[in-house]
């Protein structure tokens, strides 16, 4: 895994958790500043240093938890600071600095597995729309939809958080990757194709938020959206 370590201590992550030296993970050290959240797009899991400044650790944890590029988050806490932990910080697990390599490896792996499972279950079914990630099939009212790989990935990304607005840039990162150099209008083209394949009854499930991006609107809570051919959103 690629770990983003938010810490202000000299030596970074391997000073914070010395046992990481013995594990096969790549580390990216960054200060506990808002600008460090730019590193979320390239990491699998975030470690936050709570051994020195609990206030800053809590702020950094909440920022990661609320960010559109949500990643599993593990707090590293001193034993004396454990009593101050609050679930409202948005962390997924915690570690002590002296944790063994085996404990760290197990906790990180389970944390990442839980996050993937949560996303899979969220995207599995939205009303009459069922997304099967194992077979790469989408069914609408039991009937399979003939989607391309990118159309499938785009629909899966939107379905991972129904009602949440995804910017075009975020969808580009999630579906096409950070190394894609095409314009964001690529997203508009694929959304238009998806709406056509969903058909007149269900095309409004993909809503346009003007000037921002797109969201998947669960049936029964459908909201007015722009015309399918209007990509000025």
- Residue the block writes with tokens 């083209």: 189
Say which residue the tokens 């990118």 belong to.
150
Decide: 116 and 31 in contact? Cβ < 8 Å: no
What are 159-214's pLDDT values in tens digits? Answer: 988 889 999 989 998 898 866 777 788 999 999 999 999 999 999 999 999 889 99
Read off the pLDDT of each residue in 9-36 and give the average, rounded to a whole number: 95
Whole-number Cα distances in Å, 103 to 45, 80, 158, 173: 16, 19, 35, 32
Summarised one tens digit per residue, pLDDT across range 52-71 is: 999 999 999 999 988 877 89
For residue 52, the 8-state DSSP code is: S
What domains appear along the chain, each with residue ranges and CATH number? 2-121 (3.40.50.2300), 127-216 (1.10.10.10)
Percent of the chain with pLDDT over 70: 91
H or E element at residue 130 = strand 129-132
Give me the mean pLDDT over the 91-112 stretch: 96
Q: What is the CA radius of gyration of the chain?
A: 20
Exposed/middle/buried for residue 31 (C-beta within 10 Å: 0-12, 13-18, 19+): middle
Backbone phi and psi for residue 112, each to the nearest 5 degrees, phi listed first: -65, -40
Mean pLDDT for the stretch of residues 140-163: 92
Residue found by looking up tokens 């790549």 in the block: 26
Q: How far is CA 92 from CA 39, 95, 106, 109, 172, in A?
A: 19, 11, 14, 12, 27
Torsion of CA 188, 190, 193, 199, to 10 degrees: -80
Token pair for residue 142? 């039991």
Beta bridge partners of 74: 47, 93
Q: What is the pLDDT of the chain when averaged over all its residues?
A: 88
- The Cβ of residue 175 has, within 10 Å, a number of other Cβ atoms equal to 22
């Amino acid at each position: 895994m690629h770990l983003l370590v938010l810490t202000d201590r000299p030596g970074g992550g391997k000073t914070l958790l010395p046992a990481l030296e013995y594990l096969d993970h790549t580390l990216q050290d960054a200060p506990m500043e808002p600008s460090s959240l730019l590193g979320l797009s390239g990491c699998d899991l975030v470690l936050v240093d709570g051994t020195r400044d609990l206030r800053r650790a809590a702020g950094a944890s909440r920022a990661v938890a609320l960010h559109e590029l949500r990643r599993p988050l593990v707090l590293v806490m001193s034993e004396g600071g454990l009593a101050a932990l609050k679930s409202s910080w948005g962390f997924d697990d915690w570690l002590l600095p002296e944790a063994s390599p085996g404990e760290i490896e197990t906790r990180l792996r389970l944390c990442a597995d839980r996050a993937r499972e949560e996303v899979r279950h969220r995207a599995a079914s939205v009303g009459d729309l069922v997304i099967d990630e194992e077979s790469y099939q989408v069914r609408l009212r039991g009937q399979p939809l003939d989607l391309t790989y990118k159309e499938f990935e785009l629909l899966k990304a939107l379905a991972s958080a129904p009602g949440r607005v995804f910017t075009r840039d975020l969808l580009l990162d999630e579906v096409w990757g950070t190394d894609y150099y095409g314009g964001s209008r690529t997203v508009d083209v694929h959304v238009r194709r998806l709406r056509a394949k969903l058909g007149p009854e269900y095309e409004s499930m993909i809503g346009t938020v003007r000037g921002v991006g797109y969201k998947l609107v669960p049936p029964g809570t459908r909201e007015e959206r722009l015309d399918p051919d209007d990509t000025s959103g």
